[in-house]
Every structure is written in structure tokens, then in C-alpha cells.
Amino acid sequence: MTDQPKQVGGGRRMFGDFAPKLASLTDDVLFDDVWNRPELPARDRSLITVAVLAAGGDTAQLEFHLGRAVENGVTEEELIEAITHVTFYAGWPKGMAAMGVAKKVFSE
């Protein structure tokens, strides 16, 4: 799985001057280490991340990760299906909110 693009975070870009430790953990641990581990391809990690964010109602992070998922090879149809599936396990309001974010992202 080494043929996949290296996953890079944006922690320093977003918060480097305000919260440098959070920025470095985001970039150096979460993205540079966890996202680039060879045991799962980035495509699968993206699908899992979208499902977890949708289930948790974390719509602010979901917007970024839907775009990242598409960059990592997950289709819009697969993401819509994943959110639909999650809705029945995580709760209707969370699923509907997540689908609203997906509609916005995919319509832009």
C-alpha cells in the first residue's frame, strides 16, 4: 500500500500560531503517523473516518473529511451510502445532519 499518496494534515496551517502543540500532534502524529500506516489504505481510513464523524455528529470535521475521502478514492455514491447506513445505527438527526454536509460538499 505504499503507492498511495502521503496523507498530510493542516494543523500547523490552521492553528500553528494559536495552539502549536495541537497543531503538531495533528500533523505529526495523526496524519504523518496514523494516516500513513500501511496496514490500511487511505481510502479505507477515509471511509471509516467519515462514518465515525457522521455517527458522532461532528459535522464541522466531516466537511473536510468528505473532501479528503474523495481525494483518497472513495466515490460520492459510496459516501452517501455510508452515511445512509450510519443513520440507522447512530440516530436520525446525526445522519440527516451528516447528509446535509455531504450535499453541500458535493454540490460545490
**Per-residue pLDDT of the chain in tens (108 residues, 90 and over written 9):** 456 667 777 788 888 889 889 899 988 998 888 998 999 999 999 999 999 999 999 999 999 999 999 999 999 999 999 999 999 999 999 999 999 999 999 998
pLDDT of residue 7: 74
Contact call for residues 24 and 12 (beta carbons, < 8 A): yes
Q: Where are the domains of the chain?
A: 1-39, 41-108
Going by C-alpha positions, the residue among 6, 13, 101, 95 that lies closest to residue 55 is: 95
Say what the pTM is.
Answer: 0.87
Cα 97 to Cα 9, 20, 30, 103: the distances in Å are: 25, 31, 25, 10
Superfamily of domain 41-108: AhpD-like (1.20.1290.10)
